Amino acid sequence: MATDDSRQVRELIFEVREADEGGYVARALGESIYVEADDRSELESEIRDAVECHYGEENRPGIVRLHFVRDEILAL
């Protein structure tokens, strides 16, 4: 079966947030990929594994960008 190269994603962005319980949660924008990790090193490893599992070796994106989001409260 021929592969459809038009489906190949060049860049994938993960929105990363601190989890309420500690550690991190990350969700890929536009894809159904979600990972949890206790620390930054584990986060990177989990994202690599999830991306490879989701896309396979041949179709995985060339760039994975991590966008860290931190909620802060401003008292007035």
Q: Which sequence spans correspond to the domains of the chain?
A: 10-69
Question: Tell me: the pLDDT tens digits for 4-40?
Answer: 545 667 899 999 999 999 999 999 999 999 999 999 9
Angle at 48 between CA 43 and CA 52, to 5 degrees: 150
Fold of the domain built from segment(s) 10-69? TTHA1013/TTHA0281-like (3.30.2390)
pTM above 0.85, yes or no: no
Widest pairwise Cα distance in the chain: 61
